[in-house]
Amino acid sequence: MLLHLRFFFFLILLLHVPSISPHKKFPAILIFGDSTVDTGNNNYITTPIKANHYPYGKDFPGRIPTGRFSNGKLAVDLLASLLVLGVKQTIPPFLQPDIPANELRTGVCFASAGTGYDNLTADITRVLPLSQQLIYFKNYTQMLDKIFGKEEAERIINHALVSVSAGTNDFIFNFYDIPTRRTVFDINNYQEFIIQMLHNFIKELYKLGSRTLVITGLPPIGCLPIQITSKFHRRFGRTCVEEQNVEAQAYNKKLLQFLPRIQTSLKGSRIVYADVYNPLMDIINNPEKYGFRETMIGCCGTGLVEAGPICTPVTPLCQNSSEYLFFDSIHPSEKAYGYVTECIKKQILDKL
């Protein structure tokens, strides 16, 4: 009888012990980078690089275009819903007017589609360079100070998860398709130049209070439909541009070796690499495994070149965007982002 009573009380204790979260949660998430993570800032600047029109957002809640370069949510939206305390299903762009205080508190996006680590990239596309994104970050911290007080603002910034995703545009705009930088750098030196620009950016984030950063590597650039088109100029019998993929892998290897060194140099920091190259290549090599039918062209239009201003409300669409790895000729579909998010979560959680 005594044993039964002990077991009964043990069960009661278990029922009253607060459940332990399966992974760490952050008070806020802050996003910097390019179109892979821009949740709508380009809507508020003068640039042709916009996604504030149909068919973008056709599968987003409410079926509205938000400025996200996809049919639905981005990986950072999905990551926020997993890793941020409370309920945060999407990340507002910082330039959006009248962001509610509770949304400011849990994080915003400073990213701008078309930008890169190389300032020349943003000059070409007329978007926000990372230097301007840093200025907006400073403005954001001042807003937190005013609303929540200095101590709480510092706590939010110090403990926020910071995601940085850029680099693809640097190689596409400045090296492959428009060889501006190729007159000055070979590919090896340009990769090192980009990593140095990233190094400078991370140090600035650290000075402003950021301590936990996730840095995304390059995707398989040579498998982006627009890059395949620029090389092969055909719809059928398309294959990835192997040279560009090899160079993306070389950059990622350098980045992976570099990040631990900068973490060591910045006391109290945690800087983690996020691999998107291998998850995307896994889909490309094994589409049926993930429920995809098409990986070489986008859902929008012909799928060869359409993106941004030439993926429009009158552009024909594929019947089922969830069967396509890419929604336009550059950017993944929401379904693809969902898989990539799961992969990133598995990569980073134990390291944060």
Q: What is the pLDDT of residues 23-60, one digit of tens each?
A: 669 999 999 999 999 999 999 999 999 999 999 999 99
pLDDT score recorded for residue 19: 38
Given the structure tokens 């790895």, which residue do they identify? 325
Overall average pLDDT of the 104-111 stretch: 98
Instruction: Tell me if residue 23 is catalytic.
Output: no
- In this prediction, residue 12 has a pLDDT band, given cuts at 50, 70 and 90, of very low
Q: Does 7 reside within a domain?
A: no
- The answer as to whether 116 is a domain residue is yes
DSSP per residue, 299-338: SBTTSSS--GGGS-TTS-B-S-GGGEEESSSSSB-HHHHH
**Local confidence band at 11 (pLDDT 50, 70, 90 cut-offs):** very low
Domain count, the chain: 1
**3-state DSSP helix/strand/coil percent for the chain, to nearest 5?**
50, 10, 40
Q: What is the pLDDT of residue 200?
A: 99
User: Looking at the domain assignment, is residue 321 inside a domain?
Assistant: no
* Distance between start and end Cα atoms, the chain: 47
Q: Residue 259: which domain range? A: 25-221+242-286+333-351
Tens digits of per-residue pLDDT, 52-68? 999 999 999 999 999 99
The residue-averaged pLDDT of 322-329 equals: 98
How far, in Å, CA of 347 to CA of 336, rounded? 17
Which one is catalytic: 70, 170, 329, 331?
331
- Min mean pLDDT across 77-86, 186-195, 201-210, 330-339 is at 77-86
Asked if residue 5 has pLDDT above 90, the reply is no
- Highest-confidence range of 74-88, 227-241, 249-263, by mean pLDDT? 249-263
Q: From the candidates 35, 70, 112, 163, which is the catalytic residue? A: 35
Cα distances (Å, whole numbers) of residue 304 to 25, 237, 314, 316 = 40, 13, 16, 13
Q: What is the average pLDDT across 134-161? A: 98
34 catalytically annotated? no
**Greater pLDDT, 6 or 73:** 73
* Residue 64 is assigned to a structural domain of this protein: yes
Q: How far is CA 21 from CA 14, 24, 82, 83, in A?
A: 15, 7, 11, 10
294 strand-pairing partners? 324
In a domain, 74, yes or no: yes
Enumerate residues 6+ apart whose C-beta is below 8 A from 246.
none
Would you place residue 235 in the very low, low, confident or very high pLDDT band (cuts 50, 70, 90)? low
Contact assessment for residue 58 and residue 324, using Cβ atoms and an 8 Å cutoff: no
Quote the pLDDT of residue 272. Answer: 98
339 pLDDT more than 80: yes
Structure tokens at 65: 């275009």
Whole-number average pLDDT of the chain: 93
- What are the DSSP calls for 165-201, one per residue? E--HHHHIIIIISS-TGGGT--HHHHHHHHHHHHHHH
CATH of the domain at 154: 3.40.50.1110
Residue 197 lies in a domain: yes
Catalytic hit among 34, 328, 329, 333: 328
Strand 29-33 to strand 270-274: parallel, antiparallel, or no bridges (unpaired)? unpaired
Give pLDDT, residue 243: 96
Q: What is the pLDDT of residue 254?
A: 99
